Structure 1
């Protein structure tokens, strides 16, 4: 009788434990996320998070037969902290898989290929480039040159007005002819048939020719310097060219680590949205951040007049962050493989990044 009772108690205990375990596995999954368009967008009209990563995690949860709830985090760091502490089942957005993060949490297999790129103002037209050269320095140089030509021409009129017909005219009528004579003297060496006849005129003409060599050299050097500076400011051929620009990135991101490693100064932002707003407003003139997010900003805001440099400076992969030794890692990886094989993944990429996007 005692043996039968013991067997019954064992069966009841096992069934109770099994029921509790089954109920626990059926609890909704809680995944932290943060606002990172187009991967995760929290401020939507419906009030429900949207985005590529949101849709992907939803498809994964459906594949493994679990309900899913998203827990918005105040910042990217807060999302990762929630994953590390185990207060959520995982985190998803645009989370780069790095060695330092892998040491503190687990990751699924990569869900998206990304990389660090640069956002720059759009290339200006030829007319805009010419307009950009009209600086105060160049304007001053032009006015000084015109003043010297007018002054030199009128001085020659004073010396030559009684010695040759070309200068024999009233002062008001001699303004342009004298200026034209001085201009041709500087550019072409003067007119042989209008060679100065008076001794003061000849002496002054020699001074004008010699001085014009320096004036023209200075003027050309000023224009060349302006063109060079304009070209340097508009072109970024390497990451080192950012030293001359006002760079922005998100603090605590892999982009910030990338810039710190190269001793490139930058303005740090808490959110990409504020950073991109400042870029559009001209407060910063370049952004170093995740390429897909920058590309989405350009496509979603055609009036922003921005372009993404094609070069990827550091390739990265995004993954789903999980607490260390998470029992769900294998399930999520298997579900992700299924989603890739059945075309769901490609459909999500097409929806959020367009049919021509290559990954």
Structure 2
């Protein structure tokens, strides 16, 4: 009996210890502070907020890890994960075959694409072909930059900017004739700081999916995917989506 009691007590201790370890590992999460409304700095609190920040907060609870956010230019995020300087990245990062050679991705968590932004009085641009011969701004290291290089590289002046705010200010200031970038970010700017000054034109180009990035062979890919699936099943994902985009993710 004594042995049985000891074994039971030991098992209980191990269960308690195991529960305590659920959040014992602190992971470094990289993000880009300029990709609104996915991630941005709250000027009052000094904290990062946004759709991605709510997603990673919920995933950490369900997958069982603590985390600290590290901000950096988008162009440096994939190399930082690849070299192990950070553990995870979430920054509206498009899943591509090229990137998947050097990092691991979660299951897709957001469907996106690329769109054109021009000044509100611009009437000559309705498609990507109309940008031929024009000055086009985009973000360095982005899939939109790659797309522009392939599509308009020989006919247009393509200027990559370090932050999305920089390319939008370049458009408003007349340094570029158009901006070509991720649809949700372009749309958000057109309805906030750029309202009545700029407009989104043309169709959605290059249907894309965003994924969370991990170092190769990371043990966290599976638990994060399971947590993401449970968020979608119980409606938590839709609630977060509605908070930042004003509608259900299915609309």
Check whether TM > 0.5. yes
SS in 1 for 2:132: helix
- In structure 2, the CA distance between the partners of 1:334 and 1:357, relative to structure 1 (3 Å rule), is closer
Counterpart check, 1:258 vs 2:150? no
Residue segments in structure 1 that go unaligned for 5+ positions in a row: 1-18, 125-232
Are the aligned partners of 1:259 and 1:265 in contact in 2 as well (CA < 8 Å)? no
What's the counterpart of residue 8 of structure 2?
Answer: none
Superposed counterparts of 1:71-150, under 5 Å: 71-73=70-72, 75-122=73-120, 124=121
Shift of 1:252: 1.8
CA distance in 2, matches of 1:48, 1:337: 27
- Secondary structure in structure 2 of the residue aligned to 1:313: strand
Cα offset, 1:357, TM superposition = 6.8
Q: Determine whether 1:344 maps to 2:233.
A: no
Matches of 2:158 and 2:188, distance apart in 1: 22
Q: State how far apart, in whole Å, the 2-side matches of 1:269 and 1:358 are.
A: 32
**Would you say the 8 A contact 1:115–1:291 is kept in 2?**
yes
CA contact (8 A) 2:111 2:210 kept: yes
Shift in Å at residue 245 of structure 1? 2.4
Count of aligned positions: 230
- Structure 1 residues 5-60: Cα deviation after superposition (integer angstroms, max 9, x where no partner): xxxxxxxxxxxxxx89x869722222111111111113532011101001001000
**2:127·2:202 contact (CA, 8 Å) conserved in 1?**
no
Once residues 140 and 75 of structure 2 are traced to their aligned partners in structure 1, the CA distance between those partners, rounded to angstroms, is 10
* Match of residue 193, structure 2, among 270, 294, 301: 301
Contiguous gaps of at least 5 residues in structure 2:
1-16
Larger Rg: 1
Shift in Å, 1:80? 1.5
Structure 1 SS opposite 2:223: helix
TM-score norm. by structure 1 comes to 0.60
SS in 1 for 2:44: coil
TM score, norm. by length of structure 2: 0.85
Runs of 4+ aligned structure 1 residues displaced above 6 Å come to none
- Deviation, structure 1 residue 87: 2.2
Q: Which residue is equivalent to 1:312?
A: 204
Whether the 8 Å CA contact 1:83–1:321 is kept in 2: the answer is yes
RMSD: 2.2
| Deviation string, structure 1 residues 254-279 (Cα, Å, up to 9, x no partner) | 11110111224312211111111121
Deviation string 1:37-90 (CA, Å, 9 cap, x unpaired) is 1111135320111010010010000112322211112x1122212111122221
